[in-house]
């Protein structure tokens, strides 16, 4: 059994959880071939990601002539299958948000992969995210390629399920994975009851780098860290506003934002507006090791998102015994236990976020440490990458 992993962009700085899953599967004895639609080589900073990139085949690396050549070759060799796949591309593309032209491009990508999969003797394809790469895997299957499965993370898939043909993808898949129970319930909404049995929960996991890191005491001074892409749904703008109110009231604290993205300039402007230059720092993107060090330098992790699946950074923080302030959305309440491993607030509420940060600032040091240790136990039980990989391995067709 040789498994192909297909991702739209791989490796990617914010998708280290996919790399961990692949490595854990290989450690469990599953041969994995890596495929990606496009490369992000210019943005990769982590050495582990660079190593993964060297093992990955990129569909768009074939160029327009390669895509066209593969499409013609498949059409001539398998005309009936090609017609069926073209019809499926039209059906899904017609009702999608991207349109028919994009779906014809996905069909061409599927033709490239059909030939690559045959040469590599791929028996099954697993994709992450229910968007473009899942469409390509589904079309490749219609062309006569291997069975496929997909891991759905959210929130994008749940924001536009009809536009991405989610129901069609579930029905045609060998199985579907959700990263949390909340996500599974959302998938139930978009398929008929007979399909429910093929939907499973397999958590994203953290590896020994986090799970077995020697215990590091929390710093004595109030220090928050927020890790993630600087985008609207991550809640950074409201976080800066909450921090501004805390600073105006005379609270002493440090807040480090680890990441980059389209909102960086606006966030920097708000930092100046609220006179937070001595309180808030933006580091830009960081390697896995740098992320770990930023977490260890903090007392509390902040994840003020409006939309998520189940953020891996919460698992990483709790694994390192740092309590978390986050929001009552998606799968987050399945991991953050209010009063035990952190605090949860209504998403979008500046006042609630500010109050939770204030409570954390004034929580006794030993209580913060105990909350972090409680969270670490929960992560070790439910989010061990090696254990979750074995659960996923059992789902692959034998």
Domain boundaries, the chain: 3-205+384-395, 208-382
19's CB contacts (< 8 A; 6+ apart) are: 11, 48, 49, 52
Measured from the Cβ of residue 237, the count of other Cβ atoms closer than 10 Å reads 16
**Does residue 97 carry a pLDDT above 90?**
no
Tens of pLDDT, residues 99-156: 999 999 999 999 999 999 999 999 999 999 999 999 999 999 999 999 999 999 999 9
Which 8-state DSSP code applies to residue 215? P
Grade residue 46 by pLDDT with cuts at 50, 70 and 90: confident
Mean pLDDT computed over every residue of the chain? 96
Tens of pLDDT, residues 73-96: 999 999 999 999 999 999 999 988
| Burial of 314: CB neighbours in 10 Å, binned 0-12, 13-18, 19+ | buried
How many degrees, rounded to 5, is the angle at CA 147 between CA 145 and CA 148? Answer: 115
**Does residue 41 carry a pLDDT above 90?**
no
Tens of pLDDT, residues 167-225: 999 999 999 999 999 999 999 999 999 999 999 999 999 989 999 999 999 999 999 99
Kindly report the pTM of this predicted structure.
0.93
**Does residue 398 carry a pLDDT above 90?**
no
208-382 CATH fold = Rossmann fold (3.40.50)
Span 3-205+384-395 CATH architecture: 3-Layer(aba) Sandwich (3.40)
């Amino acid at each position: 059994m040789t498994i192909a992993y297909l991702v739209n962009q791989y490796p990617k700085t914010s998708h280290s959880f996919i790399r961990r899953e692949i490595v854990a599967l290989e450690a469990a004895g599953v041969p994995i071939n890596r495929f990606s639609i496009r490369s992000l080589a210019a943005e990769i900073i982590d050495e582990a990601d660079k190593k993964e990139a060297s093992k990955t085949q990129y569909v768009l690396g074939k160029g327009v002539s390669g895509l066209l050549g593969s499409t013609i070759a498949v059409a001539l060799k398998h005309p009936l299958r090609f017609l069926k796949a073209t019809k499926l591309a039209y059906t899904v593309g017609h009702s999608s948000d991207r349109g028919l032209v994009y779906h014809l491009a996905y069909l061409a990508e599927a033709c490239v992969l059909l030939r690559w999969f045959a040469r590599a003797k791929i028996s099954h394809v697993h994709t992450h995210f229910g968007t473009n790469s899942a469409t390509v895997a589904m079309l490749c299957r219609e062309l006569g390629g291997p069975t496929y499965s997909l891991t759905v993370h959210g929130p994008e898939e749940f924001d536009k399920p009809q536009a991405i043909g989610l129901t069609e993808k579930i029905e045609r898949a060998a199985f579907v994975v959700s990263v949390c129970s909340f996500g599974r319930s959302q998938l139930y909404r978009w398929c008929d009851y007979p399909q429910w049995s093929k939907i499973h929960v397999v958590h994203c996991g953290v590896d020994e780098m986090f799970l077995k890191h020697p215990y590091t005491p929390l710093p004595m001074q109030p220090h928050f860290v927020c890790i993630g892409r600087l985008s609207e749904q991550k809640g950074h703008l409201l976080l800066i506003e909450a921090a501004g109110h805390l600073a105006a009231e005379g609270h002493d604290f440090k807040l480090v934002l680890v990441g980059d993205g389209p909102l960086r300039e606006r966030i920097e402007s708000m930092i100046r507006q609220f006179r937070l230059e001595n309180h808030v720092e933006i580091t830009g993107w960081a390697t896995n090791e740098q992320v770990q060090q930023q977490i260890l330098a903090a007392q509390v992790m902040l994840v003020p998102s409006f939309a998520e699946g189940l953020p891996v950074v919460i698992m990483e923080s709790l694994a390192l015994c740092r309590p978390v302030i986050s929001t009552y959305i998606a799968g987050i309440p399945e991991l953050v236990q209010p009063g035990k491993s952190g605090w949860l607030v209504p998403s979008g509420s500046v006042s609630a976020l500010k109050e939770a940060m204030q409570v954390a600032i004034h929580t006794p040091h030993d209580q913060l440490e105990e909350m972090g240790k409680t969270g670490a136990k929960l992560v070790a039980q439910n989010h061990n990458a090696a254990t979750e990989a074995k659960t996923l391995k059992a789902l692959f067709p034998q």
